[in-house]
């Protein structure tokens, strides 16, 4: 009997596992939990008119049908334009004789949508429309989101279009399915079974992306493999492109610059060589024959060992333009990364991308983007913005953000990145006077860019819940939402995401939101407060290792970045140091010129600060550093306690998962604090102030730890 019970209870658990395993992301479409609202929605959404005249409108109908049936728990009837209360059609398919409510189609562009309530003969109705079918699909997702987040469907008058044209995910996925800096399993793209096997996950990936407006995806790692450009692989790429197309998503590939040698049997990849040009032209033609709407190429060149034009004494512009020329006849584009630095160059790494790219402004073809990471170094917990933003008025810059949390706790730490994204967007470059924010550089309004875009390095893998940490999904979600509308606040987006992902119970929503909104600053404090950066473990970047001096290159060593010595801490980037500050516009420089004027959150990026320096709090630098590290850990403690109170309000599976992950995060936050403070103390020679719990191990213990199989960094 006991055995049966055990088996039975195991079976029950198994069922639950599949009930809320995170696979459905924010598109769960569970029954509306509020009975009154459910009743209202049921009355409001009766028949639906949606002519399924294209694959995209078919997708819109499928989504609407699945969404409404789930949310309303009733069969959805299709109706005609006259008797339906929800009408879904594009501008070209306005039903004959239909009396249209006012829609400002001209304001919607190629991807926007309008959702308008109006009074029809048969009662109140709503239309979802756009100039294009993809606009309509985006509108359908917006409408479903209204219901998922329990908003009113009355008096709708929405006109929305994206702030940026190109809203891309960048996958750092290798052809063998290993994901560089991937912490959520292996790649979702199963090259071995493509093109014949179409995993349901590809379709769900497309749905999720379309629901937040992502319209492009680079399928392969920037540390590129030329093989993907061979016929065998292009046929597989085509299969993915076919799946993603109805959802408005174009595919892009990374182009390995030496591909003409590696797979083309040429002896050179010199971008000015005629055979090389002809090879790329023919390759582009081959790709476009298979995939007529292929997006183009993303290139990492002359960076971290990747081949590039400089080998042939050509510039980045020469390389980018050659590729741009190959895809131009088909409307393709090239995204050329500015992530370049070299330890052979005796120059502050901070300055190198600007030094190389700024002089090339104006030399790139019109279908080239220079793709710039948000900060000058490398996706650190907090960086000042790259000085390139605003400095290349003649070159459209695409911003690259990192959703995969390489330096932000990877997939065991709950870190909601939207506050960081917002901070980046809202930073003023002062390039064209006050108000020249990074958001305005990127959306093209500052310099009238002819094309605009943003890329997020994906945090997606084949883990059942897609992102490893259940809250990693929020970063994917927030990226898409901000790429569409960078005026949304981090709190708005968290609110939407929590309601769709966990439910609308107000206590639950507020509590999870407050955990999310506290998480970014908490992480900065327990890892790299006051502008510390790049002090993570060598190679894998897991955990603290500020003491490392023996990495393969000087500019990979944490000591290069923090510059701790007996006099103080931080990197002097003023005129007395590397003078990286000079790369910013004068008004932007002003804020960082002196220790006193520099915002403390970025202090150690720009100044070598004496240990005894009095901070705004009245504490010395050393005491403030201690304070920040301890408060970071305290914040995680609070997040953990707050989560514990949600027992019974969140489904058991995700509750336990997040609870265990928060316990890991707390342990690791304390590890970061202890290791860093003990190490920096060897320079400050000051005690950890009284009242703080003392580190439980000696510095040697932390320095002796090794993590040979930490994820995300090599096979
Ligand atoms: C894809 C950092 C990461 C690398 C990454 C590189 C890049 O250095 O650690 O894994 O390579 O950035 O963005 O190209």
The answer to whether 544 touches 714, Cβ cutoff 8 Å, is no
If one residue of 304, 379, 408, 713 were mutated to test the ligand 1 pocket, choosing by the most ligand atoms within 8 A of its CB, it would be 304
Ligand 1 atom closest to the CA of 221, numbered from 1: 1
Cα separation of 125 and 82, whole Å?
A: 10
What distance in Å separates the CA atoms of residue 246 and residue 198, rounded to the nearest whole number? 15
Which of 305, 378, 558, 710 has most ligand 1 atoms within 8 Å of its beta carbon, as the pocket-test mutant? 378
CA distance 535 to 557: 8
Which positions ≥6 away from 340 have C-beta within 8 Å? Answer: 301, 302, 303, 316, 352, 353, 356, 357
Mean pLDDT of the region 371-381: 98
| pLDDT band per the 50, 70, 90 thresholds, residue 232 | very high
The Cβ-side half-sphere exposure at 196, using a 13 Å CA radius, reads 2
Distance 186 CA to ligand 1 centre (A): 17
> How far is ligand 1, taken at its centre, from the CA of residue 277, in Å?
28
Ligand 1 contact, 180 CB (< 6 A) = yes
Q: Hey, CA dihedral for 519, 520, 524, 530, is it positive or negative?
A: negative
Residue 180 CA to ligand 1 center (angstroms) comes to 8
Q: Which atom of ligand 1 is nearest to the CA of 400?
A: 13
Fold of 525-571+608-703: Alpha-d-glucuronidase, C-terminal Domain (3.90.1330)
Residue-level pLDDT at 715: 64
For residue 181, report the phi and psi dihedrals to the nearest 5 degrees. Answer: 60, 30
Above 70 in pLDDT, residue 91?
A: yes
DSSP-based three-state secondary structure for 631: helix
Give the catalytic positions in this structure.
304, 378, 406
217, 252 contact by CB (below 8 A): yes
Beta strands, E only, 53-142: 77-78, 86-90, 113-120, 123-130
CB of 350 closer than 6 angstroms to any ligand 1 atom:
no
Q: How many residues does the chain have?
A: 715
Ligand 1, atom 8, residue with closest C-alpha: 378
Burial 43-60 (b: 16+ CB within 10 A, else e): ebbbbbbbbeebebbebb
Per-residue pLDDT for 385 more than 50?
A: yes
- Distance, CA of 534 to CA of 263 (rounded, Å): 37
Q: Which atom of ligand 1 is nearest to the CA of 222?
A: 1
pLDDT higher than 90, residue 339: yes
**Angstrom distance (rounded) from CA 661 to CA 413:** 7
pLDDT of residue 1: 30
Q: Which of 170, 171, 172, 410 to mutate to test the pocket of ligand 1 (most atoms within 8 A of CB)?
A: 172
Please compute the mean of the pLDDT values over residues 376-398 and round it to a whole number.
98
Average pLDDT of 472-498?
A: 98
Between vectors from CA 602 to CA 598 and to CA 604, what angle results, nearest 5°? 95
pLDDT grade for 120, boundaries at 50, 70 and 90: confident
CA of 534 to the centre of ligand 1 (A): 13
Cα–Cα dist 99/424, whole Å: 45
Q: What is the pLDDT of residue 712?
A: 86
Given this model, what pLDDT does residue 403 score? 98
Q: What are phi and psi of 699, to 5 degrees?
A: -55, -40
**Ligand 1 contacts CB of residue 339 (under 6 A):** yes
Angle, helices 200-211 vs 55-72, to 10°: value is 80
Q: Report how far ligand 1's centroid is from the alpha carbon of 455 (Å).
A: 14
CA–CA gap between residue 109 and residue 107 (Å, rounded): 6
Give yes or no for residue 171 CB within 6 A of ligand 1: no
Instruction: Judge whether residue 457 has pLDDT over 70.
Output: yes
Q: Show Cβ contacts of residue 310 under 8 Å, excluding neighbours closer than 6 positions.
A: 301, 302, 316
For the domain spanning 2-160, the CATH number is 3.30.379.10
User: Which residues make Cβ contacts (< 8 Å) with residue 192, sequence separation at least 6?
Assistant: none
pLDDT of residue 275: 98
Nearest atom, ligand 1, residue 713 CA = 10
Q: Which regions of 191-276 does DSSP assign to beta strands (E)?
A: 216-218, 250-254
Nearest Cα to Cα of residue 273 among 318, 306, 316, 307? 318
pLDDT digits over 561-607, tens only? 999 999 999 999 999 999 999 999 999 999 999 999 999 999 999 99
Instruction: Note the pLDDT tens digit of each residue in 617-645.
Output: 999 999 999 999 999 999 999 999 999 99
Can you give the pLDDT at residue 8? 33
The domain ranges of the chain are 2-160, 166-501, 525-571+608-703
CA dihedral 20, 23, 26, 31 (to 10 degrees): -40
| Ligand 1 neighbour 69 (Cβ under 6 A) | no
Q: Do residues 217 and 209 touch, judged by C-beta distance below 8 A? A: yes
pLDDT at 286 over 90: yes
Q: pLDDT tens digits, residue range 15-65?
A: 333 479 999 999 999 999 999 999 999 999 999 999 999 999 999 999 999
> Does the structure show a pLDDT above 70 at 12?
no
What is the band of 11 on the pLDDT scale with cuts at 50, 70, 90? very low
pLDDT class of 554 with cuts at 50, 70, 90: confident
The CATH number given to 166-501 is: 3.20.20.80
Nearest atom (ligand 1) to Cα of 306 = 14
State both tokens at 319: 């390389």
Contacts of 565 (CB under 8 A, 6+ apart): 683
Give the pLDDT confidence score for residue 4 in this predicted structure.
33
**Is 38 near ligand 1, meaning CB less than 6 Å away?**
no
DSSP state of 581: G
Return d(Cα 260, Cα 164) in angstroms, integer.
Answer: 33
């Amino acid at each position: 009997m006991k055995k049966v019970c055990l088996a039975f209870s195991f079976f029950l658990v198994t069922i639950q596992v599949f009930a809320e395993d995170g696979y459905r992301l924010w598109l769960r479409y569970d029954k509306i939990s509020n009975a009154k609202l459910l009743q209202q929605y049921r009355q409001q959404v009766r028949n639906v008119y949606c002519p399924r005249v294209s694959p995209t409108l078919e997708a819109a109908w499928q989504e609407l049908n699945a969404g409404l049936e789930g949310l309303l728990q009733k069969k959805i009837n299709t109706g005609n334009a006259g008797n339906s209360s929800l009408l879904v059609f594009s501008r070209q398919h306005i039903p004959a004789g239909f009396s249209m409510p006012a829609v400002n189609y001209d304001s919607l562009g190629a991807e926007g949508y309008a959702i308008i309530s109006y009074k029809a003969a048969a009662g109140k109705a709503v239309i979802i429309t756009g100039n294009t079918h993809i606009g309509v699909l985006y509108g359908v997702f917006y409408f479903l989101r209204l219901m998922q987040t329990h908003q009113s469907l009355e008096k709708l008058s929405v006109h929305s279009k994206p702030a940026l044209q190109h809203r891309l995910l960048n996958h750092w996925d290798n052809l063998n399915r290993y994901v560089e800096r991937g912490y959520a399993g292996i790649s979702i793209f199963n090259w071995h079974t493509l093109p014949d096997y179409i995993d349901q996950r590809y379709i769900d990936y497309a749905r999720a992306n379309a629901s937040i407006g992502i319209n492009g995806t680079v399928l392969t790692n920037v540390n590129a493999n030329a093989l993907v450009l061979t016929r065998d692989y292009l046929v597989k790429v085509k299969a993915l492109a076919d799946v993603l197309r109805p959802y408005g998503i174009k595919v892009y590939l990374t182009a390995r610059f030496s591909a003409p040698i590696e797979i083309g049997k040429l002896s050179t990849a010199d971008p000015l060589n005629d055979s090389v040009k002809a090879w790329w032209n023919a390759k582009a033609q081959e790709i476009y024959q298979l995939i007529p709407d292929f997006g183009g190429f993303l290139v990492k060149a002359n960076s971290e060992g990747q081949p590039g034009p400089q080998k042939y004494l050509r510039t980045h512009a020469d390389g980018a333009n050659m590729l741009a020329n190959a895809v131009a006849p088909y409307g393709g584009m090239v995204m050329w990364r500015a992530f370049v630095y070299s330890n052979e160059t005796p120059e502050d790494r901070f300055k190198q991308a600007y030094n190389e790219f700024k002089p090339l402004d104006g030399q790139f073809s019109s279908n080239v983007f220079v793709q710039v990471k948000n900060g000058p170094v490398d996706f650190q917990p907090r960086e000042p913005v790259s000085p390139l933003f605003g400095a290349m008025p003649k070159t459209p810059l695409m911003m690259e953000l990192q959703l995969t949390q390489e330096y932000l706790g990877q997939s065991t730490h709950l870190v909601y990145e939207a506050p960081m994204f917002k901070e980046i967007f809202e930073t003023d470059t002062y390039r064209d006077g006050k108000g020249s924010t990074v958001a305005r550089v990127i959306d093209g309004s500052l310099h009238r860019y002819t094309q605009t875009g943003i890329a997020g390095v994906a945090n997606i893998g084949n883990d059942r819940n897609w992102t490893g940490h259940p809250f990693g999904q929020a970063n994917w979600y927030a990226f898409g939402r901000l790429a569409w509308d960078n005026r949304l606040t981090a709190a708005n987006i968290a609110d939407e995401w929590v309601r769709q992902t966990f439910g609308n119970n107000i206590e639950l929503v507020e509590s999870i939101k407050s955990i999310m909104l506290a998480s970014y600053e908490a992480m900065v404090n327990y890892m790299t407060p006051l502008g510390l950066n790049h002090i993570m473990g060598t190679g894998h970047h897991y955990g603290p290792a500020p003491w490392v001096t023996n990495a393969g290159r000087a500019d990979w060593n944490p000591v290069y970045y923090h510059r701790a010595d007996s006099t103080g801490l931080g990197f002097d980037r003023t005129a007395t140091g590397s003078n990286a500050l000079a790369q910013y516009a004068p008004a932007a420089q002003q804020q960082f010129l002196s220790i006193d004027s520099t915002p403390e959150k970025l202090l150690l990026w720009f100044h070598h600060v004496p240990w005894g320096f009095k901070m705004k709090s009245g504490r010395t630098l050393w005491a403030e550093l201690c304070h920040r590290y301890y408060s970071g850990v305290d914040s995680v403690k609070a997040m953990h306690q707050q989560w514990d109170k949600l027992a019974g309000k969140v489904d058991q599976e995700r509750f336990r998962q997040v609870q265990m992950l928060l316990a890991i995060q707390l342990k690791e936050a304390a590890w970061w604090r202890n290791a860093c403070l003990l190490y920096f103390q060897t320079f400050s020679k000051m005690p950890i102030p009284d009242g703080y719990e003392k580190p439980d191990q000696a510095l040697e213990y932390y320095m002796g730890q090794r993590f040979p199989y930490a994820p995300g960094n090599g096979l």
